[in-house]
Amino acid sequence: MPNNKRKNRGNKNKEVTMTPSNEKDTPIQDYEDDDIEEMQEADLKKLIRTLRSSQKQILELHKSLMDKIENLSRENEILRRNQNETKQLVQQETVIVTEVKNSIDQMKNTIESLTNRMGEAEERISDLEDREQERIQSDQRKEEEIRNLKHIVGNLQDTIKKPNIRVLGVPEGMEREKGLEGLFSEILAENFPGLEKDREILVQEAHRTPNKHDQKRSSPRHVVIKLSTVKHKEKILKCAREKRQITLRGSPIRLTADFSSETLKARREWRDIAQVLRENNCQPRILYPAKLSFVNEGEIKTFHCKQKLKEFVATRPALQKMLKDVLHTETQKHGHQYERR
């Protein structure tokens, strides 16, 4: 019996081994319970090991698949969150872009408005500048007209005053006895005896200037004598220049021509220059109405304004050295006057 059993087992084993497998993808052979009982112990152990290994592989594969599924799920969740965040960022960026576009549009409108206003302001400024230029030109014309009128008035006053002699230094009240005309006759008799007997010298008018006496003023008012002719005035003044020292009752006085305020101002401006020329024996004279005359290198030179004098001095080194300080002082004086204006 045992031999039969082993034969039968061998036959069965042979059947088992000889049975071809049609399923190439199945690693484990299917066995019937009876077949398993008839299998050898070694084959059974091998089968068990194979089953355990396959089970382990299946479990590992299952675990690996579950890990991959879990990872995929996490990645999918992260991706979904990222998509949501991206959507939110896109929405925020869209809002920001819209706000920026609106801001840019507002800035463009503001810039356009400012440009228009600047254009209007520039036009107004241009108009104001034109008006200012017109006003300046008008003021310059008016100033020129005023200067011309002052010059004309001064010439008229000088023409009217041309026969006059101005007497300086006559004490106030001295005219009470003889009057101003009597005092003038006394001056002629005391200083120019020959002229006092000249019947042609007639005094048309005599008065003090200004009309009202200022008690605070220490010096006496001037006496203005109007003669009948200019020739007599010039004759008397010539004698006065020759005599140099003129007196009234022993007290020194001065005789000068009578000029307008403008002419007097112009004549005073020559005073310092004439003094320097006199110290250097250049024989300076201030001619009518306000011209400077002096001798230079044997020739008589006459100037009606300082600019012409400066131009001439620039060509004469010796004269330039002589008048350097006084002309420089005059230039500074006029500069300070211009700054004050």
pLDDT at 5: 41
Say yes or no: 195 and 251 in one domain. Answer: yes
pLDDT digits (tens, 9 = 90+) for 276-298: 999 999 999 888 778 899 999 88
Q: Sheet holding 203-209: strands in order across?
A: 203-209, 222-227, 164-168, 251-257, 246-248
Mean pLDDT, all residues of the chain: 81
Over 70: is that where the pLDDT of 249 sits? yes
The answer to whether residue 223 is domain-embedded is yes
Range of the domain at 278: 263-328
Residue 21 or 211, more confident: 211
Does the pLDDT of residue 330 top 90, yes or no? no
> Residue 257: which residues within 8 A CB-CB, separation 6 or more?
161, 164, 165, 166, 233, 237, 288
CATH number assigned to the domain comprising residue 199: 3.30.70.1820
Would the pLDDT of 24 be above 70?
no
Taking Cα atoms as reference points, which of 209, 212, 302, 313 lies closest to residue 258?
Answer: 209
Do 254 and 311 lie in one domain? The reply is no
Are 189 and 246 in contact by the 8 Å Cβ rule? The answer is no
pLDDT at res. 8: 43
Q: pTM for this structure?
A: 0.50
pLDDT-based confidence at residue 201 (cuts at 50, 70, 90): confident
Would you say residue 67 lies in a domain? no
Looking at the fold, whether 127 and 183 belong to one and the same domain comes out as no
pLDDT, tens digit (0-9, with 9 covering 90-100), for 44-54: 788 888 888 88
Q: Are the beta carbons of 301 and 274 closer than 8 angstroms?
A: no
pLDDT of residue 63: 85
Residue 45 belongs to some domain of the structure: no
233 and 274 assigned to the same domain: no
- Could you say which DSSP state residue 198 is in? -
Query: DSSP 3-state assignment of 77?
Result: helix
The H or E element containing residue 83 is: helix 41-161
Based on the domain organization, do 248 and 282 belong to the same domain? no
**Structure confidence at residue 23 (pLDDT):** 41
Q: What does each C-alpha distance from 237 to 167, 196, 241, 293 come to in angstroms? A: 11, 14, 6, 17
Asked if 140 and 189 sit in the same domain, the reply is no
Residue 214 has pLDDT above 60, yes or no: yes
Q: State the total domains in the chain.
A: 3
Burial bucket for residue 336 (CB in 10 Å: 0-12, 13-18, 19+): exposed
Q: What is the mean pLDDT of residues 66-87?
A: 85
Q: How far is CA 326 from CA 148, 253, 270, in A?
A: 29, 29, 10
Phi-psi category of 158—alpha, beta or left, where left has phi over 0 and alpha has psi -120 to 50? alpha
The CB density around residue 98, as the number of other CB atoms within 10 Å, is 10
Q: What was the pLDDT predicted at 206?
A: 92
Do residues 125 and 115 both lie within one domain? Answer: yes
pLDDT-based confidence at residue 25 (cuts at 50, 70, 90): very low
Tens digits of residue pLDDT in 148-170? 888 888 888 888 888 999 999 99
N residues, the chain? 341
pLDDT at 38: 59
174 and 146, same structural domain? no
